[in-house]
Amino acid sequence: MRHFGKLLVCSFMVCLFPLLGVAAAELEILSVKVEKVPVLDGAVMDSAWQGVKPVTVKDSASGINILIRSVYTADQVFFLVQFPDTAKNFLHKPWIWDATEKKYETGPHREDTFVFKWNMMDHDVNLSNFSDDDYRADVWYWKANRTNPAGYADDKSQVLGAQPIKKSTELTSMSGKARHLGRYSDAGKAAYKELKTLTEYQGDLADRYPVSTPEGSRADVHAKGTWNGGFRTIEYARALNTGHEDDLQFEPASGKAYLFGVSIFSLYGRPHIENSPNYYGRGRISEPLRLKFQ
């Protein structure tokens, strides 16, 4: 009965969150200082989150409302993210056995991903991939398959400019200008490995990305997500100051407001269902948000 009661409470709180969400009229996320850190388990029952009202932010690609809260301590900042998600997309390009051909083929599955994108410039910019502004951004990718099992988000950076740069992709900006976007992993080791080929039978469905322990600057962002009853919940944690040049550093005492945006990458359904809505990797973020420390 106790376990059942806890599930009832969790379900009730999840259902109630859209009613409690504060419309982001000022586009401001206020981080509240706490003494006890939340446990990163993808749940909302930690005392640290109680009394902290979520801000409602709209995902620009899907139109889905995202609820965001933030707390911090003397040395860490935390985020709690929630949004409706119709399917638990927890695999990414898995190996699927073709019994006729006696070999593995890449499956259509794509994992759910949630992104924080932080401005690293000394002035405001439009952080969209299709922006007319030049910028450098600190990007945190929580990935349901590739990083969640290890308890991390993938720490990366993006650089957008008018001139070609190393390993960049040419894009067209919203005003029709040629732009070049570089996506770079932070220094260190990723939270996953890739099985690029499978030659021997290991079941009808095999994970392409076995878990690994990240290292270096790429291991700066801890994160854990869960999916329950059509809702996705993700908790993030990062040191205020990582000491790494490829990261944005937070200084709560400075009074600075930090410009960022968020984005959902998802198939919003099962990949094998025809015409399933696909907002995967659109390169668009929410309206501009600002993090302020209370």
What the block records as the tokens of 146 is 């590739």
At residue 220, what is the residue type?
Answer: D
Q: Is 283 helix (H, G, I), strand (E, B) or coil?
A: coil
Average pLDDT over residues 281-292: 83
User: Which of 69-78, 158-167, 215-224, 272-281 shows the lowest per-residue confidence on average (mean pLDDT)?
Assistant: 272-281
The pLDDT value recorded for residue 267 is 66
Domains of the chain: 2-293 (2.60.40.1190)
Long-range CB contacts for residues 35-39, cutoff 8 Å, separation at least 24: 35/73, 37/73, 37/76, 37/78, 37/237, 38/71, 38/78, 38/80, 38/235, 38/237
Task: Note the pLDDT of residue 266.
Answer: 75
List pLDDT tens digits, range 157-205.
999 999 999 999 999 999 999 999 999 999 999 999 999 999 899 999 9
Q: Find the largest Cα–Cα distance for the chain.
A: 64
Reply yes or no on whether the pLDDT at 81 is more than 60.
yes
pLDDT tens-digit readout, 11-42: 323 333 333 344 334 589 999 999 999 999 99
Cβ atoms 187, 154 nearer than 8 A:
no
